[in-house]
Amino acid sequence: MPRNNRPETPHTGRFAKATNGPEGAPPTRRTAAPAGGRFEVRIIGGEWRGRKLHFPPAAGLRPTPDRVRETLFNWLQFELAGARCLDLFAGSGALGIEALSRGAGEAVFVERDAVSARAIRDLLAQLRCDRGRVEQVDALAWLERGPPASKPFDIVFLEPPYGKEWLPVLAETLERDGWLAPEARIYLEDAAVRGAPTLPTGWTLVRSKRAGDVGYHLARRGSPAHNNDHQARGSE
């Protein structure tokens, strides 16, 4: 489920038209405060399997449920070893941390909220992991800076605030501005009523599933033929 449903800062650049969805767009999901005032996320697989991570609540924060993460990382199981990952709109950081647990070489967490960003740093310290870097900055502003000089990302977790229509613009930005490796995998999540996301030219939708009112999808950059990918379908 979306982990970061907080209102983002309005933008006047390439994201301006995407900031406000059309009339009739799904409302932003509301998040109930967790029992005890803190969220708990369990790492499902890899080096830290079974570890429970605790972090403070923040407005609109909704950690991705175990079953959704398990499906996603089953999709990505052959792509994670040594991968460079980007957890955009990171929220709790659960997806990036799960990727690191399963062998990703590096993860960059981009999260605007100061409390959430600090919590991710604390979690990485608890895990004694030096392969994660946290950028406390608005994700849209960060993308508008352009990609870093280091190598592009192999895997991107893309979960903008629920109910916005940012996915097509974000995907085009990642493609156009050189953020992605030639055969990058991109995870996209949005309201299920929107159906499959609109993808940039050259991307292929290889997995697609629905969990309640949320649709989650995996796209691949490059040609559709690949030994580890299958035709997109919603029953997996």
Three-state SS string over 137-173 comes to: CCHHHHHHCCCCCCCCEEEEEECCCCCCCCHHHHHHH
pLDDT in tens, the chain (236 residues): 445 444 444 454 555 544 444 333 333 333 444 555 677 888 999 999 999 888 777 665 666 667 888 999 999 999 999 999 999 999 889 999 999 999 999 999 999 999 999 999 999 999 999 999 999 999 999 999 988 777 899 999 998 887 678 899 999 999 999 999 999 999 998 878 888 889 999 999 999 999 887 789 999 998 655 545 544 444 34
Find out whether 220 and 88 touch, Cβ atoms under 8 Å: no
Domain borders along the chain are 35-221
Q: Residue 35: count other Cβ atoms within 10 Å of its Cβ.
A: 8
C-alpha 167 chain-centroid distance: 11
Q: Which tokens sit at 15? A: 């994201």
> Cα–Cα distance between 236 and 221 in angstroms, integer?
21
pLDDT at 192 (0 to 100): 80
* Nearest partner of 213 among 186, 189, 187, 188, judged by Cα: 189
DSSP reduced 3-state for 55:
strand
* CA 122 vs CA 95, 132, 159: distances in Å: 16, 11, 22
pLDDT at 19 (0 to 100): 45
CATH of domain 35-221: 3.40.50.150
> Cα–Cα distance between 176 and 172 in angstroms, integer?
6
pLDDT at 214 (0 to 100): 79
Q: Which tokens sit at 62? A: 């909704």
* CA 149 vs CA 76, 157, 177, 179: distances in Å: 26, 20, 12, 10
pLDDT at 27 (0 to 100): 36
pLDDT at 16 (0 to 100): 52
* Nearest partner of 195 among 161, 168, 222, judged by Cα: 168
Read off the pTM: 0.82
